[in-house]
């Protein structure tokens, strides 16, 4: 059974947290990794398929785009040889019965089920899911209790939940008291309110109070919000307790080697590691590009080159053969730099704005 205590973990991030990023996070030192949030109704459309070519377990949607079978209809993929005992599946739900049905489909191929009750974005809160559950604590507790009793205990898999702070300290602590009595194994708290954005400092004024409630109920606590790297994780433990875990989101999106105890690698090496992993596991080209354009600084000359590519092998060629170790286009590639100069100016002008908007979606 997955153990959450004192762990440094990769946050659930839509689009970012697919298999390649999770595998790199584990390679670089993460103890556990979260899948992106997937809604219960989407899981219910899926068929479990063993992918013999990749040695992965794939969940393919019967209602998905069948243009490229196994790629365009892919909802979730796991490589159990590396993710076993370390993969937590995050579910979006607002219905105890649907949550249980969906969890039963996925639970044997993951190592825990986590309920998203913290993301404030529309893709999470529609139909009462995500941070909307903070306003319906009875429903949230019912979902967790149902999962614990009908899935967690029979399958010997932990059930956990991720929340944000409420506006008032008392209301937050009252909610935590209720949640830890549902039978969950772990509570992750993003120490910002629903209205706060990631550029704002997290509120840790009563982290000790939440930690105490968790310890009294044998529930582990993971701190989310403003955690940047391994050293920051150790600082949090030194201040709040050696049994406290930490979850990294935005920093891992930019450089997933932030989990390294020896210090993070330079982004060009991480980008190369990422493209090798992503192509090895046949990740969708649009998702590869999405992730790379968040790893590669907009000021790097390779950025507009990547921005103009569509195919996985083209992106791999650009990073392996066109980009130097410093992240810039190699000397002698004037044909590429000349062709991409205008795109580069446009990208540089907009990259900071795009990153800010994207970070606001990170939970």
The size of the chain, in residues, is 363
User: Is 87 in contact with 111 (CB distance < 8 Å)?
Assistant: yes
Instruction: Supply the angle between the helices 169-179 and 137-147 in degrees, to the nearest 10.
Output: 20
Q: Is 64 annotated as a binding residue?
A: no
Q: Is 154 annotated as a binding residue?
A: no
Helix (H) or strand (E) holding 246: strand 245-248
Q: Is 158 annotated as a binding residue?
A: no
**Is 119 labeled as catalytic in the residue annotation?**
yes
Q: How far apart are CA 154 and CA 183, in angstroms?
A: 13
Starting at the earlier edge strand, list the strands of the sheet with 74-78. 46-51, 56-61, 74-78
Q: How far apart are CA 164 and CA 319, in angstroms?
A: 38
Q: Is 226 annotated as a binding residue?
A: yes
Q: Provide the token pair at 277.
A: 């992993």
Q: Is 225 annotated as a binding residue?
A: yes
CB neighbour burial string for 26-52, b if at least 16 within 10 angstroms, e if fewer: bebbbbbbbbbbbbbebbebbeeeebe
Helix (H) or strand (E) holding 235: helix 230-240
The torsion angles phi and psi of 25, rounded to 5 degrees, stand at -60, -45
**Closest-CA residue to 113 (of 150, 77, 65):** 150
Q: Is 13 annotated as a binding residue?
A: yes
Catalytic residue (one of 46, 119, 258, 361): 119
Q: Is 282 annotated as a binding residue?
A: no
Q: Three-state SS for 194?
A: coil
Give the annotated binding-site residues for FMN: 12-14, 90, 162, 190, 224-226
Give the annotated binding-site residues: 12-14, 90, 162, 190, 224-226
Catalytic residue numbers read 119
């Amino acid at each position: 059974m997955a153990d959450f205590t004192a762990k440094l973990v990769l946050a659930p991030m839509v689009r970012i947290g697919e298999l390649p990023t999770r595998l790199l996070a584990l390679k670089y030192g993460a103890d556990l990794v979260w899948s992106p949030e997937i809604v219960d109704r989407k899981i219910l459309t899926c068929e479990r398929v063993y992918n013999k070519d990749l040695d992965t377990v794939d969940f393919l949607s019967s209602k998905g785009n069948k243009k490229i079978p196994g790629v365009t209809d892919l909802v979730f993929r796991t490589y159990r040889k590396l993710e076993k005992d370390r993969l937590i599946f995050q579910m979006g739900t607002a219905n105890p019965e649907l949550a249980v049905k969906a969890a039963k489909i996925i639970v044997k191929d993951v190592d825990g089920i986590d309920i998203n009750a913290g993301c404030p974005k529309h893709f999470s809160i529609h139909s009462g899911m995500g941070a909307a559950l903070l306003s319906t604590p009875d429903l949230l507790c019912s979902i967790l209790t149902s999962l614990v009793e009908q899935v967690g205990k029979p399958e010997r898999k932990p059930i956990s939940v991720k929340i944000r702070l409420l506006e008032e300290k008392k209301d937050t602590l009252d909610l935590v008291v209720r949640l830890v009595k549902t039978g969950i194994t772990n509570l992750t708290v993003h120490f910002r309110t629903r209205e706060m954005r990631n550029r704002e400092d997290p509120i840790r004024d009563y982290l000790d109070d939440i930690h105490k409630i968790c310890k009294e109920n044998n529930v582990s606590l993971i701190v989310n919000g403003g955690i940047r790297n391994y050293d920051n994780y150790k600082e949090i433990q030194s201040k709040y307790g050696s049994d406290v875990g930490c979850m990294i989101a935005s920093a891992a999106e930019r450089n997933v080697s932030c989990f390294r105890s020896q210090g993070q690698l330079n982004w060009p090496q991480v980008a190369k590691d990422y493209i090798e992993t992503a192509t090895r596991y046949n990740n969708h080209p649009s998702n590869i590009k999405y992730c790379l354009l968040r790893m590669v600084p907009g000021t790097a000359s390779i950025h507009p080159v990547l921005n103009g590519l569509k195919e996985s092998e083209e992106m791999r060629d650009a990073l392996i053969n066109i980009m130097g170790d410093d992240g810039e286009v190699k000397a002698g590639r004037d044909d590429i730099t000349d062709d991409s100069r205008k795109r580069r100016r446009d990208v540089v002008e907009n990259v900071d704005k795009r990153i800010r908007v994207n970070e606001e979606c990170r939970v």
